[in-house]
Amino acid sequence: MGALSLFDTPALHRLRDCSRVLVAGAGGGFDVLSGLPVAFALQEQGKSVVLANLTFTPVTRTTARPVAPGLFEIDAETEGADAYFPEKHLAVWLRDNGFPDRMFLIRKGGPADVRAAYAWLARELRLDGLVLVDGGTDLLMTGDEAGLGTPVEDVTSLLAARALDLPVKLAMCVGFGVDAHHGVCHAHFLENVAALAGLGAYHGVFALTPGIAAVDAWLAAVDRVQQHTPGKESIVCASITDAARGEFGDHHSLARTRGEGSELFINPLMSMVWGFDLDAVAERVLYRDDIAHATTPFEVAAAIEAFRDRTPLWPRRTIPV
């Protein structure tokens, strides 16, 4: 890789020789938004960047163009239900702010379906780099931790990306702590980071700091999408952007989190981006063979549950700080 200095970001340094990079949201919904700072930074370097997302949008009820089984292309002109179509709202912001607005939506399916969609993208776009981004940190859960968060979509995307033969494949997580309400034990996340570091597969962290052009653009894009998805905004995105702006503790920027008993802990760790070798992350998923032949997300979920029923789980622990 060549000598690095403290002025380099090790994760992004690995993309230095790539010219055509796919930045993809792993877990669906708003995950693609968490990849925007990286996408904008790569575009600043003159690289061709395309966005993709495992989508929760009922894409067949839109005017998205089918390009392959389970894979659709949209842009700012695509029509669909405004109540929940975050990718379309993002495309409009991209167009209005001078960025390419082409985006690909991967319909939820089994591992084989999602793998085929990624294979089409790699082939037709002639990719030489991939960044798979998770809003949250449950992408690193291997299967026997105390809690896995919401693994079905994340791991389906992760294993699909693992099947690609590309020079550079990175997995990135942003939003340390936001998965607590989904049962993730963050001591276990840190233990998994340490294990990847021991394998040479942990590529460090960098902060999403306002005042950097790529970060400012990301903040503006997230604001636009959140404003156009009333009542269905992303709590994950709100937590990350609030943290980046310097909010702390039980801060609520969304009405949907202000209910009784809903306490947040917004903090600077939420706006840190963690980078890893994608294949190394995928190879540590203990149940990957169990879900290999699943044909629907429901079968994936059932296989994960069956795996955990027969597997001793790590005891939950508190970070001693």
> Is 60 exceeded by the pLDDT of residue 242?
yes
Query: How, if at all, do strands 20-25 and 48-55 pair?
Result: parallel
Domain CATH code at residue 84: 3.40.50
Q: What confidence tens digit (pLDDT) does each residue in 173-191 have?
A: 999 999 998 999 999 999 9
Question: Which residue range(s) make up the domain with 38?
Answer: 17-227+270-309
Q: What are phi and psi of 132, to 5 degrees?
A: -100, 120
If you compute the radius of gyration of the chain from its CA atoms, what whole number of angstroms results?
18
Q: What is the spatial distance between Cα 231 and Cα 236, in angstroms, rounded to a whole number? A: 14
In a domain? residue 315: no
In a domain? residue 237: no
pTM (global) more than 0.85 = yes
Mean pLDDT of 202-223: 97
Please give the tally of structural domains in the chain: 1
In a domain? residue 120: yes
| pLDDT for residue 2 | 60
> Is 70 exceeded by the pLDDT of residue 131?
yes
In a domain? residue 252: no
Q: What confidence tens digit (pLDDT) does each residue in 132-150 have?
A: 999 999 999 999 999 999 9
In a domain? residue 175: yes
Q: What is the spatial distance between Cα 226 and Cα 203, in angstroms, rounded to a whole number? A: 30
Mean pLDDT of 268-286: 98
CA 206 vs. chain centroid, Å, equals 16
- Selection from 165, 203, 194, 167 nearest residue 284 by Cα: 194
| pLDDT for residue 160 | 97
Q: What confidence tens digit (pLDDT) does each residue in 147-170 have?
A: 999 999 999 999 999 999 999 999
In a domain? residue 52: yes
Mean pLDDT of 241-246: 98
In a domain? residue 206: yes
Q: What confidence tens digit (pLDDT) does each residue in 3-39 have?
A: 777 888 899 999 999 999 999 999 989 999 999 999 9
List, in order, residues 6 or more apart from 80 with CB less than 8 Å away: 57, 58, 59, 61, 62, 63, 64, 88
> Is 70 exceeded by the pLDDT of residue 260?
no
Q: What confidence tens digit (pLDDT) does each residue in 55-97 have?
A: 999 999 999 999 999 999 999 999 998 789 999 999 999 999 9
Token readout for 136 is 């949250």
Q: 10 Å Cβ neighbour count for 222? A: 24
Q: What sections of 210-315 are H helices per DSSP?
A: 213-227, 235-244, 278-283, 297-309
| pLDDT for residue 181 | 85
In a domain? residue 43: yes
> Is 70 exceeded by the pLDDT of residue 47?
yes
